[in-house]
Amino acid sequence: MKCIFWEDKACAGELERTMSRISSTDLKANLTTSYTQIMNVATVPDFKLYVTGYGRFFNEHADWCSDLNLFPHKIPFWYRAKLTRELRQKCNDMTVKLNERIEEIVNDLNMQYVRAGSAKRIIFVDTDPVYENYRWCDGMKRDTWRDDTYFFNIKSNDYKGDGTLVAQPNTGPIVIDIGGIDIRTCMDDADAADDDGLMLRCVIARQWADSGNDVAQLNVPFPPEEGSASRDTLTVINSGKFTPTPASTDAYAKAFHPKTYPLAKIASRIYQQWLTGHSPGLINQPGSPGSPPF
C-alpha cells in the first residue's frame, strides 16, 4: 500500500522483497500447514476446501492515469507516487505470481490426497476475472477516480449490484494519529508486524518530517481531493501516544480490499464451481444444475 500511495526511497527494495516472499519456501510451508489443518479436521470423506485467488488492482496498459496518485486527500507531500505503467505492472505481476503459487500449492496437496486414496480435495477458484473493467485505471481518460472501482480506497463508498449505496456505520471523522511513531524504525516495525495501519501512519509521519515540518506539533485537517471517492476530511494528529479510533481503523483497514458487490460475484463464482465441479463458465450451459442465487 505504501508504495502505491507514496514514492518512498525504500519502495524499489520493498517490491523486490515482496516478490521474493511470494516465491519463498516459507509461503509454501505456511499455506500448506493452514490448508492441511483444515482438511485434517474435516470428517466428511469427500470434503472440499475452496481457496480463492486475488484480483489484479490495475489496468496496466492505460496511459491516462500514469501521472495520477491514488491517495484521496490533499496532504501536501512532495512524494506522492505516480501510477506509472511500470508500477502498475509490478503490482499486477505480484498478484499473478501469488495466484500461481497458491494454485501450485493446492495442486501439490491434491496429488497427496490422490496417492493416499482420499476423496478430499482443495479447489482453487480464480477470482481475477470478477474485476475486469472495474480496476483502477480502467475506462476512458478522466481527471478523477471512478467510485465504481471494485476495490476500496481510504473511506470510499460501497455499492450494491443495483448501484445503491451500502449503508455504513457513522464512525465519525477520520483521524490518523501518528503518536508514538519512531520515523527511524517504523517502516521495519510495520513490515515485521505486517500491519498496514502502522505502515500508513509511518509513511505519513516520515513524509511530514521530510517536508520540513515538526512531527511533534501536528493537528492538521486535509479535505478529500476533488473527484476522489473519499467522503470525509482526514485529520492527522500527534497525540503523543497512539489511540486508534473506529473511523481511522475502518478507513485504512478496508483499503485495497474488494467491495460488497464483487464479493457477491466471488461467492457466485464459488457456488458455480461447487455445483459443476468444473470451471465457473460451465454453469449456464444447457443441462447445468441452474444459476446461483446471487
Greatest extent of the chain over all pairs of C-alpha atoms, in Å: 68
Name the percent of the chain lying above pLDDT 70: 75
pTM tops 0.75, yes or no: yes
Spatial CB neighbours of 47, under 8 Å, sequence gap ≥ 6? 39, 120, 121
Residue 171: partners with Cβ closer than 8 Å, 6 or more residues away: 245, 246, 247, 250
Helix (H/G/I), strand (E/B), else coil: 28: helix
**pLDDT for 118:** 96
Model pLDDT, residue 33 = 98
Q: How are beta strands 174-177 and 234-237 bridged, if at all? A: parallel
What pLDDT, on a 0 to 100 scale, did the predictor assign at position 281? 41
pLDDT digits (tens, 9 = 90+) for 215-227: 676 676 776 666 5
CB distance 242 to 182 below 8 Å: no
pLDDT of residue 131: 96
Q: Point out the residues of the chain with pLDDT beneath 50.
A: 279-294
Question: What is the predicted pLDDT for the residue at 158?
Answer: 85
C-alpha cell at 138: 480502467
Closest among 91, 128, 92, 99 to 5, alpha carbons compared? 91
**CB-based burial, 195-220: b 16+ in 10 Å, e otherwise:** eebbbbbbbbbbbbbeeeeebeebee
Say whether 19 sits in a helix, a strand or coil: helix
pLDDT in the model for residue 287: 36
